[in-house]
Copies of this chain bind each other. A is one copy, B any other.
Amino acid sequence: MSGTQDRPLRADAARNRAKLLDAATAVFAARGVGVPTEEIARAAGVGVGTLFRHFPTKEALLEAVMVRRLETIAAGAARVAAESEPADALFACFRLIAEQSVGKTAFAGALAAAGIDVHTSLRGPSAAIRELLADLLHRAQRAGAVRPGLTLPDLLALLVGANAALDQLGPDAAGRGRVLEVVLTGLRPH
């Protein structure tokens, strides 16, 4: 049911898999998805062969990186959502997701540009997020805390947009706050 886990996986193999995912996340973020696979293997301290034993394709590695990211985000969002009532929870989740996905823009763009069909394995984690947000959105709207006409796709698009905006803004904390404030304010009814 959990997809990625086929067998218990030997201790060292699991360690290498993790090292590879970490290295890939870092290197892709730092140098773009165009980096040679060998670079990633080197960063992970393993040979290329090991990389390809764990991820049969460069594309598969990219997917695994994104899946892990989404899983982390989904978990964080679920935690945050549980702590407050719907409206606040929605806003908190929005902040969290928009903030956490640093650099995701470049990824997603590159993946799409490469004609990669990420959907299959991403559907799982992203479905979790989607459902959570759909629920929160619905309840926040019923509570009158969010614009009534807004749909889930709208919300997701705004999330992607906020993400892109923060990416573009860089580490300027004050600016990030103002930008998020603009979007979150806009979500409220007027």
Chain A residues within CB distance 8 Å of chain B: 31-34, 105-106, 108-110, 112-115, 147, 149-151, 153-154, 156-158, 160-166, 168-169, 172, 175, 178-179, 181-187, 190
Contacts and interface: CB of A to CB of B under 8 A. Distances in A.
Q: Taking each of A108, A114, A147, A186, which has the highest tally of chain B beta carbons within 10 Å of its own beta carbon?
A: A186
A35 to B, nearest CB: 10
Closest 6 CB pairs of A and B: A161-B165, A186-B186, A109-B109, A32-B113, A164-B164, A182-B186
A158 B169 CA distance: 9
Contacts of A163: 161, 164
Q: How many copies does the complex hold?
A: 4
Contacts of A172: 153
B154 A161 contact: no
Contacts of A153: 169, 172, 175
